[in-house]
A and B are shown apart, each in its own frame.
Chain A
Amino acid sequence: GNSVTQMEGPVTLSEEAFLTINCTYTATGYPSLFWYVQYPGEGLQLLLKATKADDKGSNKGFEATYRKETTSFHLEKGSVQVSDSAVYFCALSGAQFYFGTGTSLTVIP
């Protein structure tokens, strides 16, 4: 069946550090892949998405590339800010959605 595995947290980085959060998936067919972000006390918001192999999703300085050969969709940002502190979820979809367990990121000044 379909599933998503993402990097365990929590992750703590200093401001302006490089961020990578790993995500791998198992799926039948050709799912779309997403990163969602959850700020404290809020629902999830879409951060970026990719709908087919080799697509790169990007938003607010974050990027992720849909790699079919490695079944991965790792999230990266070159220089994190304190305001990026949140929980990040990798997800895949067909008609049904599957989310990873979430990775908590704290950025310290």
Chain B
Amino acid sequence: EAQVTQNPRYLITVTGKKLTVTCSQNMNHEYMSWYRQDPGLGLRQIYYSMNVEVTDKGDVPEGYKVSRKEKRNFPLILESPSPNQTSLYFCASGDSHSYNEQFFGPGTRLTVL
């Protein structure tokens, strides 16, 4: 089944404790992206990647890191999480030939205390 998977789905952590949210897709997509969803703000793009070893900042990259060492994986790293990073995070992937439709993962609910 074609899908984007994220882990964990739910995470409660404390300020300053490094964490990684994994994202994997099995559709051989070149384009991958991370978003955060906050009430009243919609989805905002954090980082995106057009291909392996190519990453670019979105609208809200501060406090996040990403890497794209393999085509299928695009982990999101929070080196020192803060409470303002409490949010719902979505990973997505798409075919960069049109970079049109994106396929979204199920989301990761992160709470930073």
- Give A44 to B102 CA distance when docked, in angstroms: 9
Within 8 A of A (CB), among B55-113: 56, 58-59, 90, 92, 98-102, 104-107
Chain B contact residue count (CB 8 A cutoff): 25
Interface SS majority for chain A:
strand
How many A-B contacts are there with CB distance less than 8 Å?
A: 56
Interface SS majority for chain B:
strand
- The verdict on A89 contacting B42 (CB below 8 Å), with A43-B104, A43-B105 known, is yes
Q: How far is the CB of A6 from chain B (nearest CB, A)?
A: 8
- Give A59 to B40 CA distance when docked, in angstroms: 26
Chain A contact residue count (CB 8 A cutoff): 20
CB 8 Å contact bits of B17-56 with A (1 = contact, 0 = none) = 0000000000000000101000011111100101000001
A contact residues vs B (CB 8 Å cutoff): 32, 34, 42-46, 49, 51, 89, 91, 93, 95-102
